[in-house]
Structure 1
Amino acid sequence: MTAVARTARSWLPPLVLGSVVLAGWQALVVGAGIKPYLLPSPTAIAAQAGALAPLIWTAAVATGSNVLVGLVVGTVVAIGAAIAATRARWIDALMSPTAAAVSVMPIVALAPALNTMFGTTSTTPRRMIVAVVVFVPVFVNMLRGLREVQPVHRDLLRAYAATPRQTARVLTIPGSLPFLFTGLRIASSTAVISAVVAEYFGGLQNGLGSRITAAASNSAYARAWAYVLGAIALGLVFYLATLALERVVARRQGR
């Protein structure tokens, strides 16, 4: 089976399922006479998406930039914290409860507080929220990956008098990459969700979350769903970019 055929085979089931769901949705709205303010039809949402495509693109770029910065910062901090936790027990004892506390921190409480601290015209609060949300899955998975090294491999490097830095570069970090990308796949989706939700609580009105709120408050529900569609597309972009990066790294490692 060729690569094209494998790709088509993997994409066909979700496309068929999506088409069936959309057809059923349209039939339900039309057949039951559901009012647009209760549930817009897919055709109405598609019409709004086409008419508002430039605005959706602009809002997606604004939200996507916050997601990208927060994703990078949260990942770098999480990797550094995981490496430090494996080298010192007191850091591990400090970081593990901290990660547990951060994982249950509500965005609805954090976003207004950060907006007050940094000002409603700053993008820093939204990027900080994304970084906080990204930190937990990346830290937990990276820490697990760093601890999954086989003792026989570590003993072999010690027998060759490898330094801790050489052991990390040759053995520990490469072995933890599959775990790291597992965390990144989770974080790439939750990062978009957190960025959109953070935009509900004031600040700059230039992102997808702000546009969804504004459209819904004006009873333009088809327009709001069009911006939701943009948020879904943005989430898929980050998820697929993470998958592509993982494949590139795996190919370079010969996996």
Structure 2
Amino acid sequence: MSGRLRAVWPPVLIALIFLSAWQLLVVVQDIKPFLLPSPSLILGNFFGDFTLMFNAAIYTGTTAILGLMFGTAVGLVLALAAQRFGVVNKLITPLAAGLAAVPIIALTPILNNMFNITSRTPKVIITMIIVFFPVFVNVTRGLIQVQPVQLELMRSMNARPRTVLRQLRIPNAIPFFFTALKIAAPLSVIAALVSEYFGGPQQGLGSRIASSAANTAYGRAWAYVVASIITGLIFYLIVLAVERWAAPWTGRARSA
């Protein structure tokens, strides 16, 4: 327990110092809320409208989860194909890089026109695209970059490609997979949130931030930003917990 406390208290202390300095700056300089609301105003709106914050986080989180699931599934399938067939790797990798470079703000209106603007589908597709790239790149690397000695040993035993994949490549790719998820999970929340700025239902965090700012409720807008940060952190912590449960040796390898 003492070790965990030593790991937790430094960031907590830094956060408290930062928030205190922020509050002091706003009060002393008399900064208006439309420029920079105080932490006390933001937290007051957050806890005062907690039910609205929670419901908006659930809506955006659901979109993020769907995009994360589909993007991860597509990334895994194509990573397996890229490992097995070199031509697939050479073909998909530049296409994936180009797809990842497409700005969300440019793609979202196009997808909204293709689908019903009130549908969740465009937002899920945007999130899936953002998630796909880190999963594909990291898992492909984990499947390909195995130890040459281990690979030669498997080949000397006349192991079939399927056996090599199951007993060598997939175990080697597991740390890469969780690294990709720890990147993709918070990104899925960001992608879902940004895609909500461009129309559609008003239940999500992104649309609530935009509408609050448009109505000059800046404290409430920042409170929704806090809810977005918490949602992204929850996604990251869930992935971290799953990694420690499913692949505890990855943590021991990093600490060794």
Q: Structure 1-normalised TM-score?
A: 0.96
Q: Which moved more, 1:86-95 or 1:127-136?
A: 86-95
Amino acid at match of 2:224: Y
Alpha-carbon deviation of 1:87? 1.1
Q: CA offsets, 1:135-169, max 9 Å, x none?
A: 11111111111111112212222233322212111
* 1:26 corresponds to 2:39: no
2:222 alignment partner in structure 1? 225
Deviations 1:17-48 (A, max 9, x none): 10001000000000111111111110011110
Q: 2-side partners of 1:249 and 1:164: how far apart?
A: 25
* Alignment partner of 1:85 out of 79, 82, 85: 82
Cα distance change on mapping 1:109 and 1:94 into 2, 3 Å: same
5+ long unaligned stretches in structure 1: none
Q: Which amino acid aligns with 2:76?
A: I
Q: Which residue of 2 aligns with 1:6?
A: 3
- Letter of the 1:29 counterpart: V
What's the CA shift string for 1:47-77, capped at 9, x where partnerless? Answer: 1001110000000000000100100110111
Residue in 2 that maps onto 1:247: 244
Shift of 1:234: 0.1
Are 2:48 and 1:51 equivalent residues in the alignment? yes
Report the counterpart of residue 72 of structure 1 in structure 2.
69
Alpha-carbon distance, 1:254 to partner: 9.9
Deviates more, 1:144-153 or 1:46-55: 144-153
* Structure 1 partner of 2:33: 36
Instruction: Provide structure 2 residue ranges, at least 5 long, that are not aligned to the other structure.
Output: none
CA distance in 2, matches of 1:75, 1:134: 7
Q: How does 1:177-192 map to 2 (within 5 A)?
A: 177-192=174-189
1:107 matched residue in structure 2:
104
TM-score computed with the length of structure 2 as normaliser: 0.95
Report how many aligned residue pairs link the two structures: 252
2:244–2:251 contact (8 Å) kept in structure 1: no
- What CA deviation, in whole Å up to 9, does each residue of 1:224-249 have, x standing for no partner? 00100000000000000111111112
Structure 1 Cα separation of the partners of residues 250 and 18 of structure 2: 40
* Pair 78,43 (structure 1): closer, same or farther in 2 beyond 3 Å: same
Secondary structure, aligned partner of 1:199 = helix
1:203 match: secondary structure: coil
Match of 1:193, as an amino acid?
I
Distance 1:193 1:201 in 2: 14
In the alignment, which residue of structure 2 is the partner of 1:159?
156
Contact 2:175 2:250 in 1 (8 A): no
Q: Secondary structure at the match of 1:234?
A: helix
